[in-house]
């Protein structure tokens, strides 16, 4: 991975201030397959945070268990702390 390019992508995404701008950006930068896969990954995280078993998530979303397991591993490594079962949540101040 090119760290410089990755950091530029992060900065670009962080600067987007509206849903319309974000949708336009995502439709422009992602392939149709990625536009299907990325939202599914978010659903995986949300369902895992609800405590749904991995096999049930795979069945519901019609994906492989390995894909769900990858999401579970990312959660265990401390990623997605601001993602709840309901979606994105800003961290509490001072917490």
Per-residue pLDDT of the chain (95 residues; tens, 9 = 90+): 999 999 999 999 999 999 999 999 999 999 999 999 999 999 999 999 999 999 999 999 999 999 999 999 999 999 998 887 777 765 555 54
Sequence-distant (6+) residues with CB within 8 A of 95 are none
Strand partners, 83: 88
Task: Give the single-character DSSP code of 83.
Answer: E
Strand partners, 84: 87
């Amino acid at each position: 991975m090119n760290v410089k390019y990755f950091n530029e992508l992060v900065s670009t995404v962080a600067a987007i201030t509206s849903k319309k701008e974000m949708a336009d950006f995502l439709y422009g930068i992602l392939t149709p397959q990625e536009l299907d896969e990325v939202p599914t990954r978010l659903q995986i995280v949300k369902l895992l945070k609800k405590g749904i078993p991995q096999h049930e998530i795979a069945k519901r979303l019609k994906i492989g268990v390995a894909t769900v397991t990858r999401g579970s591993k990312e959660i265990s490594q401390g990623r997605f702390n601001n993602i709840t079962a309901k979606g994105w949540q800003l961290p509490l101040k001072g917490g």
